[in-house]
Amino acid sequence: MAVKHPEPAPSIAPPDERPDKPEEACGVYAVLAPGQQVANLTYFGLYALQHRGQESAGIAVFDDDQQVRLHKDMGLVSQVFDQDVLERMPGHLAIGHNRYSTTGSSKVCNAQPVVLNTRLGPFALAHNGNLVNASQLREDLREIASELTSTTDSELIAFAVQRAVNRGLDWDPAIREAAGLCRGAFSLVIGTAGSLFALRDGHGIRPLVFGHLGEPGDGQWVVSSESCGLDIIGASFEDDVQPGEIIHYLQGEAEPRRSLWCDEPAKLCVFEMIYFARPDSRFFGESLYSYRVRIGKVLARETPVAADIVIGVPDSGIPAAIGYSQITGIPYADGLIKNRYVGRTFIQPTQAMREAGIRVKLNPLPDVLAGQRVVVIDDSIVRGTTSRKLVAALRDAGASEVHMRISSPAVTHPCFYGIDTDSQDHLIAARLTLEEITAHLGVDSLAYLSQEGMVEAAQANSSHFCTACFDGNYPIAMDDDVRSSKLMLEPAGIAASLR
Ligand code: SF4
């Protein structure tokens, strides 16, 4: 009897099944700690950064014989690694990566770290962010085109480092030269047999922090996309890798060598603070939980409404809902329960199943909602499909009124710097007016946080943030092929009516 195998599934979901939230691009992690189980430590670090990418995970470990062992595969960190694998990766320096695809599709050849050989030995590179001149860089590197094994911009950065080393440069100048060829967002960790490098692009679009294991001066260093990756292994936070900075941690040296490789104005992605990064991660000296509560307070002052309860859409809407409640005096309640075990590889229900009532991620609590005028706080609206279903579910659960408050301004422009926000023609706020969105979602009222309020809540210099997905002011120019791939509606006149 012939056995028929199923057709391979497409690696990128079709447009109407793409996630209706901005999706984070990656998490990077590195440990330089002779005498420690660096693979295990990196495993835990990646586990803490799992929210930044759930498609693939990988770790490369350097041992004392200048050998590098690499293990990477599709899936969550806990699916890709087990104790047997980690025990087969002894060494003193590890580079780790969690991936969500923004350039290059979701398949194992695009998993990171990227490991390449050079005349100085092998190196491993992990990248968070997105280049906006990848085509140009590929053209610059055309002599190695036949060697490319992936479709990612990260591999291009690695080949630029390899070329510079093989032309005679040492690691530090080679990495600087490669970084100088890149335009866009890139937070990088790069490991060699005896050195760890951490580097951020000139604007510092994606975060990167570092800390130490043991006592200061022990020379045991950890670099992580977010500080929650330090906390999980008991590492002490030392500092951010600054925008435009390269830090060289040399094995055997007590202090890292810090210097700028370029000098540009800081433009941290404000969406990291609103939504992507974990609430226990610290930015500008405080947890994002505190920032998000403050956002809720500003939102309450800007957009008050008469209601009986405030609920947050788990997880990132909850701190803002608590802040909204604190200012208005409207009681906070848990009205939505989230299933936390739905990853990107989870088989999604069909449209028919959804219409039949399958709710995979969020389930409303009728005991809390019935007969209540509800303020529901969410962090953002991208395409509106999830919000619309959520509102219908709240009404099904008995809510008498549903007032939606969004703890960010309207998303009117796509991101090109490492966040998957879909193209502009899929962004509901780029196409419809506030009144039209209100009607489309079926809410009694809808209001967004103002851009001024978002920055006020950050208590930081407003010019230090990238806010392009709210105002179209892109801090880094994109190549035309990149720009035209997503900006379908420019100039976005309708977006102006939301401000
Ligand atoms: S465009 Fe938006 S999501 Fe992208 S980096 Fe800027 S603020 Fe962040």
> How high is the pLDDT of residue 499?
39
> How high is the pLDDT of residue 366?
96
206 Cα nearest atom in ligand 1: 5
C-alpha–C-alpha distance, residues 439 and 495, integer Å: 17
165 CA to centre of ligand 1 in angstroms: 33
C-alpha–C-alpha distance, residues 197 and 188, integer Å: 8
The proportion of the chain whose per-residue pLDDT surpasses 90, expressed as a percent, equals: 69
47 CA to centre of ligand 1 in angstroms: 24
What is residue 296's DSSP assignment? H
> With a 6 A CB cut-off, is 417 part of the ligand 1 pocket?
yes
Q: Which residue has the higher pLDDT, 22 or 440?
A: 440
Q: How confident is the model at residue 145 (pLDDT cuts 50, 70, 90)?
A: confident
> How high is the pLDDT of residue 109?
75
> With a 6 A CB cut-off, is 428 part of the ligand 1 pocket?
no
**CATH topology match: 19-266 vs 285-340+354-496:** no
Whether the predicted pLDDT of 160 surpasses 70:
yes
Please give the C-alpha separations between residue 344 and each of 17, 25, 51, 233, 414, in angstroms, as whole numbers: 11, 13, 11, 26, 21
Q: Which of 94-103, 135-144, 154-163 has the lowest mean pLDDT?
A: 94-103
CB atoms inside a 10 Å sphere around CB 189? 29
> How high is the pLDDT of residue 347?
57
What is residue 174's DSSP assignment? H
Q: How confident is the model at residue 396 (pLDDT cuts 50, 70, 90)?
A: very high
CATH number for the segment(s) 19-266: 3.60.20.10
> With a 6 A CB cut-off, is 468 part of the ligand 1 pocket?
yes
Whether the predicted pLDDT of 296 surpasses 90:
yes
By most ligand atoms within 8 Å of CB, the mutation choice from 23, 100, 203, 269 for ligand 1 is: 269
- Average pLDDT for residues 24-51, to the nearest whole number? 94
Protein residue with least CA distance to atom 4, ligand 1: 415
The proportion of the chain whose per-residue pLDDT surpasses 70, expressed as a percent, equals: 86
Protein residue with least CA distance to atom 8, ligand 1: 269
Q: Which CATH architecture has domain 285-340+354-496?
A: 3-Layer(aba) Sandwich (3.40)
> How high is the pLDDT of residue 332?
98
> How high is the pLDDT of residue 186?
96
* Token pair of 451 as six digits: 């851009």
> With a 6 A CB cut-off, is 415 part of the ligand 1 pocket?
yes
> How high is the pLDDT of residue 496?
45
> With a 6 A CB cut-off, is 277 part of the ligand 1 pocket?
no
Q: Which residue has the higher pLDDT, 357 or 185?
A: 185
Q: Which of 43-52, 162-171, 415-424 has the lowest mean pLDDT?
A: 415-424
Over residues 312-349, the pLDDT tens digits come to: 999 889 999 999 999 999 999 999 998 766 654 555 55
> With a 6 A CB cut-off, is 271 part of the ligand 1 pocket?
yes
Whether the predicted pLDDT of 214 surpasses 70:
yes
> With a 6 A CB cut-off, is 25 part of the ligand 1 pocket?
no
> How high is the pLDDT of residue 148?
79
> How high is the pLDDT of residue 494?
45
> With a 6 A CB cut-off, is 411 part of the ligand 1 pocket?
no
478 CA to centre of ligand 1 in angstroms: 13
185 Cα nearest atom in ligand 1: 5
- Average pLDDT for residues 107-117, to the nearest whole number? 86
Q: Is 26 a catalytic residue?
A: yes
> With a 6 A CB cut-off, is 101 part of the ligand 1 pocket?
no
Protein residue with least CA distance to atom 2, ligand 1: 469
> With a 6 A CB cut-off, is 419 part of the ligand 1 pocket?
yes
> With a 6 A CB cut-off, is 469 part of the ligand 1 pocket?
yes
373 CA to centre of ligand 1 in angstroms: 33
> With a 6 A CB cut-off, is 205 part of the ligand 1 pocket?
yes
269 CA to centre of ligand 1 in angstroms: 5
Q: What is the pTM of this model?
A: 0.89
Whether the predicted pLDDT of 371 surpasses 50:
yes
C-alpha–C-alpha distance, residues 271 and 259, integer Å: 27
Nearest-5° angle of CA 102, CA 420, CA 49? 80
CA dihedral sign, ordered 483, 499, 320, 444: negative
Burial-class residue 227 by CB neighbours within 10 Å (0-12, 13-18, 19+): buried
Over residues 2-22, the pLDDT tens digits come to: 444 444 333 334 444 455 666
467 CA to centre of ligand 1 in angstroms: 6
465 Cα nearest atom in ligand 1: 7
Q: Which of 442, 468, 342, 435 is nearest to 390 (CA)?
A: 442
Burial-class residue 244 by CB neighbours within 10 Å (0-12, 13-18, 19+): buried
**3-state class (DSSP) for residue 93:** strand
> How high is the pLDDT of residue 355?
54
411 Cα nearest atom in ligand 1: 2
| Domain assignments of the chain as residue spans, ordered by start | 19-266, 285-340+354-496
126 CA to centre of ligand 1 in angstroms: 20
318 CA to centre of ligand 1 in angstroms: 22
- Whole-number mean pLDDT of the chain? 88
Q: Which of 159-168, 263-272, 380-389, 432-441 has the lowest mean pLDDT?
A: 380-389
414 Cα nearest atom in ligand 1: 1
